[in-house]
Copies of this chain bind each other. A is one copy, B any other.
Amino acid sequence: MLLRLKKGLPQRQLDAVLAEARGFGYECKFLDEGRQLLALSGAPGRPEHRSRFEDLVGVASVLDAGDARERHERAPGRPDHVVRAAGAVFGGGVASLIAGPCAVEDVTRVKEIAKRVQAQGATLLRGGAYKPRTSPYSFQGLGRAGLEMLAEVRAEVGIGIVTEVMDPREVEATCEVADMLQIGARSMSSSPLLLEVGKAGKPVLLKRGFGATVREFLLAAEYLLSTGNEDVVLCERGVRGFDSGVTRNLLDVGAVAHLKRATHLPVVVDPSHAAGRADLVRPLARAGIVAGADGLIVEVHPRPAEAHSDGAQAISVDELAQVAADMRALLDLDERCFATQGLERASA
């Protein structure tokens, strides 16, 4: 490991760094006369050491983490980790479509949507029983009743379910229904939730916080991975920019392309939350796929005018058909596949 110390470090701070390094079993050697470059050797690097050094006030930066690889890091030559949930497959040249309403409001309607998005190739239904809302006066989702509706839809339609969990106390109940647990953008930094969800053992869809750097996003995934759960799918859904007049968020397609290189975990794109408006969902979905995404998660509503949340960004089922057709054509260009088998066929 190679540390860069701060310039003109007081002796006490220097001693604190050296003591810590020796405590971990490293030998210390300064590379330069100015005693700013400190090489550590003689012990296997561990990410805990790296974090500790990053926290120390005397350390400017960890220039080289050596062999202290974090779990999300793609080792040289390592292929994609493939995550499967119900009939969906993410990674390894296969992409899946997740679609559904923002919130679960009415069981009959959700069934209708589920059948129709399944007919377009969606292998997972999205739909919130618990909705994170900015205002306490907005519709918060139906909670447990919403989960029961999702269970009914799953049983009847034979489509997998991905649904958000916000409260660590609800993880167990949500697991009874969901094929994949979603951690929303606003919860990305909640370590108690990450740990509880990780331990549940189900595949996880982790959304990037709208104010989170890519490094913070990957370290949130690392919380999940640290529980031993490897089935984490990263979701880029747009970050907050300075121009709120055009799109709700800025879809970070560069991050999608970067993530495909930096980690072996699959990446999906949420064009609906990025756009915040229905007419831009299709172009953003296309952009996500050609940048390398292993799937899409799209908000669909048969009658957006009546939706209790996020109606402005929901597309119709006809529009979803276009998105799915684009997705197939673009995957085809890259010799990648579109996962189409449903829940029943997957479990057959």
Which A residues have a C-beta under 8 Å from some C-beta of B?
2, 4, 7, 10, 12-13, 15-16, 31-32, 34, 36-37, 39, 46-48, 50-52, 54-58, 63-64, 70, 132-140, 166-170, 186-187, 189-192, 209-216, 219, 222-223, 226, 238-247, 250-258, 261, 274-275, 279-280, 283-284, 286-292, 303-312, 314, 326, 329-330, 333
Contact = CB atoms under 8 A, between A and B. Distances in A.
Contacts of A239: 241-243, 250
Contacts of A139: 52, 55
Nearest to A283: B257
A273 to B, nearest CB: 11
A301 to B, nearest CB: 9
Contacts of A52: 137-139, 308
B245 A242 contact: no
Contacts of A289: 290
Given A240-B242, A251-B253, A51 B138 contact: yes
Contact of A242 (B241, B303, B309): B241
B258 A280 contact: yes
A151 B209 CA distance: 34
A283 B292 contact: yes
12 contacts: A4-B63, A31-B37, A47-B137, A56-B305, A133-B191, A136-B222, A211-B240, A241-B242, A243-B252, A246-B258, A284-B291, A290-B330
